Structure 1
Amino acid sequence: MTAPGVRVMLVDDQPLLRRSLAMIINDAPGLEVVAETDNGLDAVTIARTIRPDVILMDIRMPHRDGLAATRDICAEPLLAPTRVLVLSMFELDDYVYQALLAGASGFLLKDTRPQDLIDAIHRTHQGESLFAPSILTRLIAHYVTAPRLPQPVSVRGLTSRETEVLTLIGRGHSNQEIADQLNIAVKTVKAHITHLLSKTYARDRAQLVIAAYNAALVHPTP
Structure 2
Amino acid sequence: MQDLVGPVLGTLALVAVGGYLLGSIPFGVIITRAAGAGDVRQIGSGNIGATNVLRTGRKDLALATLLLDAGKGAAALLIARYLFPNDLVPAIAGGAAFLGHLFPVWLKFKGGKGVATFFGLLLAAAWPLGLLAAATWILVAVLFRISSLSALVASAAAPLFALSPLAALGLPAPAAITALAAFTAVLIWIRHAENIGRLLKGAEPRIGAKKA
Using the size of structure 1 for normalisation, the TM-score is: 0.27
> RCO higher in 1 or 2 (8 Å CA, sep ≥ 6)?
2
TM-score, normalization by structure 2 = 0.28
Q: Which structure is higher in strand share? A: 1
Structure with more helix by fraction? 2
